[in-house]
Structure 1
């Protein structure tokens, strides 16, 4: 009975999803009007004249594009319990994500509207889509194994037991309606545990005996859980443990490096994979075609979009394009306004359009170089600060460096990691100590990196490779980039650059 009712609800979402494809500009215009009308009496809305019924062009002219750091004074007011600052009412839930230059973590408000109109609506759409794309997968005939983070009290309101912060996945799970809780596993008391080692062990033991038909989560952590489940099952492959498993809905990191490993872990030709593009700030897009990695941009899910062309990205107040002005091909930096009260917020991601009818995208990167192969989100500022701290602690002088991922190799017990290629003007007295300080500083600076490094569960300690003198200069010389402001990128999510540098190097570990 409940499956029939759920199927009916999901079919209704498919009708709305078709409007996302066929009426994109109308949906975005309606959403902007709704956002402005809803926030007209907030402090922000009064400051920027939302009561006047701004057009999209006037909204873009009047309201500044803001980074997290620029918006933080208002967010801090919300964190401390002030009402009607960025969005109507008092916000009780906050998503904690990786830090910025000025802070170890970001705190993103999660309003009831952001949950209902964004994350939950998109989740229903994703399930509805999966039942349509893969009708034989039995998406509704078992449970979804959902991996999430943990929750804690809001440190800005130590006396308010009703206010919490944590990973956005944990915020979503905790607030799911009862019918949705019954469709997922493990139970909340396990799913929201903060101690990762205990959590993975207890989760694996619990879900071992469930009828798991779907997986949902970050590939990095899912690999660790699946390996442990197989071990507890006496080495049996996952399709024997869960014979009805057919679908993995994944996000947060690029799936390409993990695809073959999942094929090894789940050797079943009936297994399907769908990509999700969500963040602490909202649910932005998902894969709506089984044979294409393009992602359908979600246009009635609480996010109004603007796009910064490449030529504008370094300007203090860049010119933005509306959805109707974008083109196929170029990369654009995303600017979003949301039902969580993020106004013309520079998300930091870049996308490029692969289709305009409907609007489909691919994630093209970040506005800065970064390392995010495992959900650690290490940015250049983190890397430079950590290398500087390691150099100070060991008496070293660093000439240049770059870092790239070490991906899972498929062997039992293998873990991901980072390889750092460093060229020293003066080497450290103790290379092992240099590496240890580098690691410790990154953990201090970046909460997501720290979580992945906890007890070496997902990330092994950094691997330091010393480059001979002239390695980086030689690489630049080959490309005619000596002099000026040319330099080797500090971080990359691909090993292409690092492997090329290693070919020039007779480095030693």
Structure 2
């Protein structure tokens, strides 16, 4: 019965989605004016003359691009219990995330924005069901690897990790299938929690697992250590993996090795600020941008980001294959808020994207500005050629080496090392040159020398994250840096 209903619902929802997909530009124009009108009597709305805004052009003049530091004075007022500051009344929740300059960040989730987080996650599964004609997984057990659902409270507003907040809203028809138990999910220490999940789930009929790739891999590794079996043997009916948070591609080969069989993967793009996109086609990596889910989008060409006169493009003005910084205005009270991510459009009908990296996560010793998408593609191509496997990696510039020219230092934890390390290193450098012409020019002009690899011990990245108090939870290791803070922290874990 569940399978039949899920297939019927998938067709119904897909027809509903098609209505806004074909009218995306008008939906976005209308949404912006609705958001501004709703918040015109808030403190932020009054401070920025929302009453005078009648177009996107008016909006860009009234509201500059904001980062967390810009919005923090308003958020602090909300945390003190004040109403009508960024959005009417007070938020239902604060999603607590780790910040770089501000310590913890508190991202508001309103009663208006929360349903879209839930709806988007549901629709990603329904789209998969429609595309694959497979809904059998709804009858088995589903594991959600997420943050603790135990929430704090401050002046009547509950707060916690986004995944912990969303755990309170798993639909009733999935509650009996959901794992781990509430008690296990509430364990605060990540390694202890994963061990408990292994014990609780290893004999169950698992059909779906959801989480960010590093969490899933840690779970799979512990399962395999515990049983001595491939994951496909432990869970013969596992049909679907749902991931988000980081690009899945660098983890794919290692994931497949653990699984020992083919399992479908859906990639999603959830953020504390809103659920941005999900994979709507089987076998393709780009994601459908959700343009009627309470978020108005602006896109700034990366090379202009941070400039006072930077172009702020609405959805109807974007182009293919251009790297954009993503700016959000949401129905939770974030106004022209830079989330720090960069994307490229792969399709304009419908609007589909790939995430290319982070504004602040890049490696640029001499202006080459190497981004995540480029290094991930380079590494993927090199691994395929040399039949190696990587668990995790990080890149930092070495600007002041003991001798010789500066270079990019790659910290790599290999699951399977290549037979010829020197050839592997040379191929990897060549692949980066192929991906980034500025890097090629610097190597060719003898400004930089080819990359060097530092080998990280088994489980070294997890040990580093644990030493920083950032193992599990919502923490993700930045793949690229423009300084050596992480590189210096990794030194004890080099082979």
The TM-score range, normalised by the shorter chain, is 0.7 to 0.9
Q: C-alpha displacement at 1:246, in angstroms?
A: 1.0
Residues 12-27 of structure 1 correspond to what in structure 2 (within 5 A)? Answer: 12-27=12-27
Could you tell me which residue of structure 2 aligns to residue 406 of structure 1? Answer: 412
Greater mean deviation of Cα atoms: 44-53 or 31-40 = 44-53
Could you tell me which residue of structure 2 aligns to residue 56 of structure 1? Answer: 56
| Aligned Cα root-mean-square deviation (Å) | 3.9
Could you tell me which residue of structure 2 aligns to residue 297 of structure 1? Answer: 289
Q: C-alpha displacement at 1:252, in angstroms?
A: 1.3
TM-score (norm: length of structure 2): 0.74
Structure 1 position 452 matched with structure 2 position 450: no
Q: C-alpha displacement at 1:377, in angstroms?
A: 12
TM-score (norm: length of structure 1): 0.72
- CA change 1:379–1:41 in 2 (3 A) is farther
Count of matched residue positions in the alignment of Structure 1 and Structure 2: 418
Residues 252 and 375 in structure 1, CA contact (< 8 A), matched pair in contact too: no
Q: Output the CA distance in 1 between the equivalents of 2:309 and 2:174.
A: 42
Structure 1 position 146 matched with structure 2 position 144: yes
Q: C-alpha displacement at 1:187, in angstroms?
A: 2.3
- CA change 1:2–1:136 in 2 (3 A) is closer
SS at match of 2:134: helix
Residues 139 and 177 in structure 2, CA contact (< 8 A), matched pair in contact too: no
Q: Output the CA distance in 2 between the equivalents of 1:20 and 1:152.
A: 36
* Among 170, 176, 184, the residue aligned to 2:170: 176
Structure 1 position 306 matched with structure 2 position 292: no
Could you tell me which residue of structure 2 aligns to residue 32 of structure 1? Answer: 32
SS at match of 1:227: helix
Q: C-alpha displacement at 1:357, in angstroms?
A: 0.9
Residues 336 and 344 in structure 1, CA contact (< 8 A), matched pair in contact too: yes
- CA change 1:256–1:243 in 2 (3 A) is same
- CA change 1:87–1:251 in 2 (3 A) is same
SS at match of 1:31: helix
Q: C-alpha displacement at 1:222, in angstroms?
A: 0.5
Q: C-alpha displacement at 1:335, in angstroms?
A: 0.7
- CA change 1:335–1:401 in 2 (3 A) is same
- CA change 1:74–1:129 in 2 (3 A) is same
Q: C-alpha displacement at 1:29, in angstroms?
A: 2.1
* Among 332, 335, 353, the residue aligned to 1:343: 335
- CA change 1:358–1:76 in 2 (3 A) is same
Q: Output the CA distance in 2 between the equivalents of 1:405 and 1:180.
A: 41
Could you tell me which residue of structure 2 aligns to residue 199 of structure 1? Answer: 193
Q: Output the CA distance in 2 between the equivalents of 1:410 and 1:213.
A: 28
Q: C-alpha displacement at 1:409, in angstroms?
A: 0.9
Q: C-alpha displacement at 1:31, in angstroms?
A: 2.0
Q: Output the CA distance in 1 between the equivalents of 2:358 and 2:4.
A: 42
Q: C-alpha displacement at 1:408, in angstroms?
A: 5.3
Structure 1 position 133 matched with structure 2 position 131: yes
* Among 255, 259, 262, the residue aligned to 2:255: 262
Q: Output the CA distance in 2 between the equivalents of 1:228 and 1:236.
A: 11
Residues 75-474 of structure 1 correspond to what in structure 2 (within 5 A)? Answer: 75-100=75-100, 102-117=101-116, 119-136=117-134, 138-151=136-149, 154=152, 157=154, 160=155, 162-232=156-226, 234-269=227-262, 271-316=263-308, 318-370=310-362, 404-407=410-413, 409=415, 450-452=469-471
Q: C-alpha displacement at 1:360, in angstroms?
A: 1.0
Question: Cα deviation per residue 1:105-152 (whole Å; 9 max; x = unaligned)?
Answer: 2221122222202x1111111011110122236232223211111256
Q: Output the CA distance in 2 between the equivalents of 1:223 and 1:21.
A: 35
Q: Which runs of 5+ in 1 are unaligned?
A: 388-395, 412-438, 460-487, 496-507
Q: Output the CA distance in 1 between the equivalents of 2:11 and 2:209.
A: 22
Residues 251 and 391 in structure 2, CA contact (< 8 A), matched pair in contact too: no
Q: Output the CA distance in 1 between the equivalents of 2:266 and 2:281.
A: 9
